């Protein structure tokens, strides 16, 4: 039986922070399968020099979990989400709700912002209701 794989795409600003650790723990509990984190599994990507990183995962993930940084995503997260949507890979956005608990929302589209920078490149547009 194949192990399901999820890919956690997030800002480099979160690498090696308590926020990253909390998000990974939540995603692992929510997904119940192997979760690939580019920060923790960087040796799998660096030598390949593949961008977006999601392209390097074999077999492809069944789901992508994306998080934002200050309500935006940088170029890397944007590229991962765009690739996933174009290849019919489900993208779930992890956010905190009004009680500061994590919730998961289905990504509907990504939007590139005008006057973008590598850290503030786009926005994730989600369905209003969270998934289970």
Domain ranges in the chain?
Answer: 5-130
Please report the pLDDT score of residue 51 as a whole number: 64
DSSP assignment of the chain equals -PPPEEEEE--GGGTTSHHHHHHHHHHHHHH-SEEE-TTTTTHHHHTTT-SSGGGG-SSPPSEEEE--BTTBB-HHHHHHHHHHHHTT-EEEEEEE-TTS-EEEEEEEEEEEPTT--SSS-EEEEEEEEEP-
- HSE-CB at 94 with a 13 A cutoff on CA atoms is 26
For the domain spanning 5-130, the CATH number is 3.40.50
Please report the pLDDT score of residue 121 as a whole number: 92
Please report the pLDDT score of residue 81 as a whole number: 95
Return the bridge partners of 97, or none.
Answer: none
| b/e burial code for range 113-123 (CB count within 10 A of at least 16 → b) | eeeeeeebbbb
Closest CA to 51 of 75, 87, 72: 75
Q: Write out the chain's pLDDT in tens, 132 residues.
A: 567 889 999 998 999 999 999 999 999 999 988 899 988 876 555 555 556 777 777 778 899 999 999 999 999 899 999 999 999 999 999 999 999 999 999 999 999 998 878 888 999 999 877 665
> From CA 48, how far away is CA 63, in angstroms rounded?
22
């Amino acid at each position: 039986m194949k192990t399901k794989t999820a890919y956690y795409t997030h800002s480099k600003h979160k690498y090696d922070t308590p926020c990253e650790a909390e998000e990974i723990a939540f995603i692992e509990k929510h997904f119940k399968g192997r979760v690939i984190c580019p920060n923790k599994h960087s040796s799998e990507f660096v030598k390949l020099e593949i961008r977006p990183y999601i392209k390097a995962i074999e077999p492809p993930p069944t789901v992508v979990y994306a998080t934002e940084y200050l309500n935006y995503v940088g170029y890397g997260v944007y590229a991962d989400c765009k690739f996933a949507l174009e290849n019919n890979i489900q993208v779930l956005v992890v956010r905190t709700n009004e009680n500061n608990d994590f919730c998961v929302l289905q990504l509907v589209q990504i939007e590139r912002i005008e006057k973008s920078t590598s850290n503030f490149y786009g926005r994730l547009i989600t369905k209003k209701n969270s998934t289970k």
